[in-house]
Structure 1
Amino acid sequence: MTDCGIWLVRPESEALALALQERLGGVLYRPWLNTATGQKQQFAAAYRQHAQWIMIAAGGIAVRFLDGLAQDKHSDPAVVVLDEAGRFAVSLLAGHEGGANRLAYRVANAIGAVPVITTATEALKPLVVGIGCRKGVTAGQVAAAVHQALGDRQLNEVREIATIDLKAHEPGLLEFCGQHDLPLRVLASATVAARPWVTKVSDWVQQNVELPGVCEPCALIASARGRLIVPKMALDGVAVAVVEDNM
């Protein structure tokens, strides 16, 4: 079983699919090339050949394709649905156990989409932590700064970590997220620049990243209903802000 299949419903999605394949790998399916068999039947035949699926389609099409295929959340392939405009990566099937939630973040980070997670385990976590850091910080430095910012709050209340694209591959940040099973949401610098709200401009960040700040706007953008409960706190090269959902 190869890891990931990318299912295109229409040839108009090919450029988006190729961009995903370049960044994430996977096998592309172009079902319109097989005129003898309908797409739903082709998908059913290929369904168990991959542990993960990215389907570039409308949600209704994905639901119809999956009709009768899902059996158990512990064994079903993970399915993420991506709209053809590349705006939303929706974890549709086998979200927590099968890894669709993590896949949704990978897809979203690869093309600048918004990850959509609906499983209760993740959705009920109220905190988003925004992080900015200097190059080369360790996972321990990130952990110390996050724990300082959280205070009496716990890591198991954190839904996701948010940062900018310039820090998407920072080893210490990735290691910290991996150690604590926290998804990393990566925001384009242009997105952050369009919403540059900060409690205090950082001269260092302005000079080196050309933004007034990172951790506060990242956390606020990642939480649409959020309110800033911990403004920027800096420790040993790591800046952290905490936003809580305002229900």
Structure 2
Amino acid sequence: MTLAVLPVRAEGGRLGEFLASGLGAELLRPWEGQHSPRELLSGRFTDFSGWVLLMASGIASRFLSGLPESKLRDPAVVILDEGARFAVSLLSGHEGGANALAYRVANLTGAVPVVTTATEAVKPLTLGIGCRRGVSAAAIEEAVTRVLPGRLTQVREVATIDLKADEPGLQGFCSAHGLPLRIFAAADLQTRPFVNVPSGWVESVTGALGVCEPCALLASPRGRLIVPKTAYQGVTVAAVEDVWAAPRQDPV
């Protein structure tokens, strides 16, 4: 995937450099040339398979006016505000890969990935997963299906700690099921350590009191923990369900 990062102004240049380096993208610097950001986007729109626009959504909407032609051919477009708070999948979410690109940007910057395509919106479950080094994708899948029998297709995303971001088994499991992997730093998990049983061993290794529960609850903060930390053959799994999707519980 050939990527371009386009800040709307020079003040976004440092963030643009960081993103371009992390994504292997080309950084466009309109403040150094003869063309405006809008002219650069319009003139080179089809030169790249994906764009990260560092600008407000209103500006991006105006810049993109008249450029998209088909969701089967248009490049992916992700918007990131200059404060790196939200990475929004705006154009070609599925076919063009903008949804996946939004997660890549979010994992690099700590932003919240924003995906609005209907396929993801109707999936009510978020998984937090921790695992020992070298655990296979098959073992992770077995652990998940044991704690959520028949509900794997309802999972929207998987979250884990940054120490496990490059774990082949976890990446393989997510890839096999088309699930985005969201990454949290240990410091983020410590701010909201929603764990039923804190683990001294986990804290000594990761710097966080727990992995799967706080990851799931941070990824879906308005959800309800329906599966607390459950361990199986080197894998820990927790599941959170959107509150509007969970069965109603009448007060006693």
Normalised by the shorter chain, which TM-score bucket? over 0.9
Deviation at 1:204, TM superposition (A): 2.4
Q: 2:177 aligns with which of 176, 180, 185?
A: 180
Aligned to 2:197: 200
2:141 equivalent to 1:146 = no
How do 1:85-164 and structure 2 match up within 5 A? Answer: 85-153=83-151, 155-164=152-161
Aligned to 1:56: 54
Q: Which runs of 5+ in 1 are unaligned?
A: none
Deviation at 1:149, TM superposition (A): 1.4
Deviation at 1:64, TM superposition (A): 0.5
Aligned to 1:222: 219
Aligned length: 244
Which 4+ stretches in 1 moved above 3 angstroms? none
Deviation at 1:207, TM superposition (A): 2.6
What amino acid sits opposite 2:73 in the alignment?
S
Q: Distance in 2 between matches of 1:232 and 1:83?
A: 34
Q: Distance in 2 between matches of 1:210 and 1:29?
A: 38
Deviation at 1:110, TM superposition (A): 1.1
Q: Distance in 2 between matches of 1:222 and 1:182?
A: 14
What amino acid sits opposite 1:134 in the alignment?
R
Deviation at 1:124, TM superposition (A): 1.2
Deviation at 1:175, TM superposition (A): 1.0
**TM-score, length-normalised on structure 2?**
0.94
Q: Which runs of 5+ in 2 are unaligned?
A: 245-252
For 1:231, what is the secondary structure of its paired residue?
Answer: strand
Deviation at 1:31, TM superposition (A): 1.2
Deviation at 1:85, TM superposition (A): 0.9
Q: Per-residue displacement from partner, 1:88-116 (whole Å, max 9, x unpaired)? A: 10000011111000000011111111100
